[in-house]
């Protein structure tokens, strides 16, 4: 009887996965296949499309503006993702200790992450306005008015400001994931490490970080995806300017779509999908053998 029950339960277990598979196919595979089909046409969203093969992809790699947007997107990710993980881990290690008011500090650090990035971008836009922004007022009041420059109007500083604002907003989300990982580590392991003569840095290296690999993987993957697909914060702060100095691929896709280049914008979206997929797959592959299990 027990063998029969196990077989029935095993078959039922497979059937329970059908709704998830259907949803995955409906909301991911079907749009992906449809997008591939549209990317091979000259569709403008109005008239009947004509098949053009790989011409949209060829046009993309021949477009100086598009190649520049790829670089801007990659530069933003290279600046944003590592800082989010490093600062998030530092916050988590600090606020995992028994400190007075740590709950309030956690809430303050995490609070910006629950606000819309578009709204947050507009807030920082008014703060950073030269001569009339809040930052200009503070700098002038303390005699540092010479530091009041047009941070968003200079191509050399605009991207740095975008990275800083993005990290400031989402570091709390990264911190929460690391905190969850830290609180899942058994205290007995630290006690055993202390008995063996391990100091704070040794315990961090050989106990904390190895057991944080699941949290590290989650944060690295989500931060790579979020950084490479950045959109709202750039729209609110610079709108891709000055010129195209801060235009990301996501903004480029939207502008091509609004320009009635539906087939071309879909092709660029597929290219962005591949750009995001490559570092994620490589990271997961190289860290697969490094994960420790309790």
Q: Is residue 68 part of a domain?
A: yes
Predicted pLDDT of residue 205:
86
Q: Is residue 3 part of a domain?
A: no
**pLDDT mean over 233-261:** 91
Identify the DSSP state of 286. Answer: H
Predicted pLDDT of residue 12:
59
The model carries a pTM of 0.88
Over 80: is that where the pLDDT of 28 sits? yes
Q: Is residue 92 part of a domain?
A: yes
**pLDDT mean over 179-187:** 90
Q: Is residue 194 part of a domain?
A: yes
Predicted pLDDT of residue 80:
96
Over 80: is that where the pLDDT of 190 sits? yes
Q: Is residue 251 part of a domain?
A: yes
CA distances from 93 to 182, 226, 250 (A): 8, 23, 34
SS3 51: strand
Q: Are 158 and 180 in contact (CB under 8 A)?
A: no
Structural domain including 98 reads 63-290
Total number of domains in the chain:
1
**pLDDT mean over 148-175:** 91
Burial class (CB in 10 A: 0-12, 13-18, 19+), 219: buried
d(CA 186, CA 228): 35
Q: Are 251 and 268 in contact (CB under 8 A)?
A: no
**Closest by Cα among 131, 162, 144, 177 to 239:** 162
Two structure tokens written together for 179: 């905190």
Over 80: is that where the pLDDT of 147 sits? no
User: b/e map of 246-275 (b: 16 or more CB within 10 Å)?
Assistant: bbbbbbbbbebbeeebbbbbbbbbbbbeeb
Of 191 and 165, more confident: 165
Q: Is residue 208 part of a domain?
A: yes
Over 90: is that where the pLDDT of 278 sits? yes
Find the range with the poorest average confidence among 71-80, 108-117, 156-165, 285-294.
285-294
**Closest by Cα among 109, 240, 255, 265 to 174:** 109
For the chain, the average pLDDT equals: 87
Over 70: is that where the pLDDT of 45 sits? yes
Q: Is residue 199 part of a domain?
A: yes
Q: Would the CA dihedral through 54, 55, 61, 65 be positive or negative?
A: negative
**pLDDT mean over 269-281:** 94
d(CA 13, CA 170): 37
Predicted pLDDT of residue 292:
46
Over 70: is that where the pLDDT of 61 sits? yes
Q: Is residue 161 part of a domain?
A: yes
Predicted pLDDT of residue 203:
87
CATH of residue 275's domain is 1.10.3720.10
């Amino acid at each position: 009887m027990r063998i029969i029950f196990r077989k029935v339960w095993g078959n039922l277990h497979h059937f329970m996965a059908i709704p998830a598979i259907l949803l995955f196919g409906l909301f991911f595979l079907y749009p992906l296949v449809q997008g591939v089909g549209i990317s091979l046409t000259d569709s403008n969203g109005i008239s009947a499309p004509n098949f053009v093969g790989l011409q949209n992809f060829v046009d993309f790699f021949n477009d100086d503006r598009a190649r520049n947007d790829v670089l801007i997107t990659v530069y933003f990710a290279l600046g944003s993702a590592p800082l989010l993980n490093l600062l998030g881990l530092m916050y988590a290690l600090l606020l995992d200790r028994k400190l007075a008011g740590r709950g309030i500090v956690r809430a303050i650090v995490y609070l910006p992450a629950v606000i819309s990035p578009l709204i947050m971008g507009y807030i920082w836009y008014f703060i950073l306005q030269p001569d009339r922004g809040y930052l200009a007022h503070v700098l002038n009041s303390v005699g540092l008015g010479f530091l009041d420059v047009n941070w968003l109007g200079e191509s050399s500083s605009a991207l740095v400001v975008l990275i800083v604002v993005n990290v400031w907003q989402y570091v709390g989300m990264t911190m929460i994931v690391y905190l969850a990982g830290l609180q899942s580590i058994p205290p007995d392991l630290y006690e055993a490490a202390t008995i063996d003569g391990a100091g704070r840095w040794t315990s961090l290296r050989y106990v904390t970080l190895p057991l944080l690999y699941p949290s590290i993987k989650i944060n690295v993957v989500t931060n790579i995806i979020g950084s490479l697909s950045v959109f709202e914060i750039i729209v609110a702060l610079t709108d891709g300017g000055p010129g195209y100095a801060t235009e990301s691929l996501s903004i480029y896709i939207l502008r091509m779509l609004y320009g009635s280049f539906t087939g071309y914008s879909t092709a660029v979206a597929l290219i962005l999908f591949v750009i995001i997929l490559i570092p994620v797959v490589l990271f997961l592959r190289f860290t697969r053998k490094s994960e420790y299990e309790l």
